[in-house]
A and B are shown apart, each in its own frame.
Chain A
Amino acid sequence: MVETMKLEIFRYRPEKESVPTFQTYKVPFREDWVVLDAINHIKDEIDGTLSYRWSCQMGVCGSCGMMINNVPKLSCAAFLKDYYPDKIRIEPLTGFPVERDLIFEMDDFMTKLTEIQPYIIRKEGEEKPLDEGEYLQSPAELAHFKQYSMCINCMLCYAACPVYAIDSTFIGPAAIALGQRYNMDSRDQGRDSRQELIASHEGIWECTFVGECSAVCPKDVDPAAAIQRAKVSSTVDWFKDVLIPWGKKK
């Protein structure tokens, strides 16, 4: 006999229902299955109307984040055997408007990601011509920011963040960590232009260092540490501005 387990999945089809409901599916239990395998099984074999995002199935693309028993997780990295034989409750990541079933709107995050300018910025006139080659970097300089560059934009940290849940104007963990990633890159000169946003109230100062962002991050980025480091450097800036106003760079 095939062992089975139950998945209780959040359903919301705006053309059919005004309030979300839960639907329970019985799926085969297999030792090597992750929650995403079970959901794919439902989609292929039981109910083709279920909508959700997924792609790589190996924790790289960051598409399949869901609330699994109320914890934000990548569904491709959550094994059924860790929940068996109990029922698993699956919902879209919290803190975002739901579009359909497990699919939520990510526009807010996308806007913030763009605003933080997560790319190398060179000062005007300091861009090297292509034929002069790369900007060289030592292993130590790479190690300085590498951890923060591992972000896959899965948004689990936003779903975990209680500050973002009550006030979505907060720039949020992943975007700030990425800003910090470029600020700490020896090839980058864009800190000043990112600082306006990072040092604003909606930037780092809404963060109360709950630390859940780092607890749920599947790539060990530790956004909470990035935010604390940004707080320290922004505070140094602030005191420099106040104490030596004439020393301000253009």
Chain B
Amino acid sequence: MAKSNEPIWWSLFSAGGMVAAMMFPILIIITGILVPFGLVGDDPLNFERIRDAVSQPLVKLILFTIISLPLFHWAHRFRFTLVDVGLKSVSTLISILCYGGAIVGTIVSAVVFWTI
């Protein structure tokens, strides 16, 4: 019986789920409630200020993590959802598209943060 390479996808999926569960509620509160309702400061999303913040290496790393890992979480979950609704016959193609999408998203975000 062939040894499975699932652990790599599953560990990225798990890490992504953890990051999403811990960070997304905070992001939703900040960007979806506090800022639009004007509950924090004066012009909090000022371009210069955000650009300054994002150019900090630590902020880059945090943003990269909360963009990349949840993409893998999505990829893994979406792959299994598609297989479960009856697309098992094209499961290899589904895996390539899902994980490929997450890898592309990871590379794009890495490049963006690198060039900021």
Contacts and interface: CB of A to CB of B under 8 A. Distances in A.
Contact of B2 (A167, A200, A235): A200
A201 interface: yes
Contacts, number: 37
Interface string B1-32: 11111111011000000000000000000000
A166 B88 CA distance: 10
A238 B7 CA distance: 7
Contact of A200 (B3, B8, B10, B11): B3
B8 A238 contact: yes
A202 B80 contact: no
Nearest to B5: A238
Contact of A235 (B11, B84, B86, B88): B11
Interface in A165-224: 166-167, 196-197, 199-203, 205, 208
Contacts of A202: 1
Interface residues of B, number: 14
Contacts of B11: 235, 239
Chain A, interface residues (CB within 8 Å), range: 10 to 19
B6 A201 contact: yes
A231 B2 contact: no
A149 interface: no
Interface in A217-250: 231, 234-235, 237-239
Question: 4 tightest CB-CB pairs across the interface, nearest first?
Answer: A238-B7, A205-B6, A235-B7, A200-B1
22 contacts: A166-B84, A166-B86, A166-B88, A167-B88, A196-B1, A196-B3, A199-B3, A200-B1, A200-B2, A200-B3, A200-B4, A201-B6, A202-B1, A205-B4, A205-B6, A208-B84, A231-B10, A235-B10, A237-B7, A238-B5, A238-B7, A239-B11
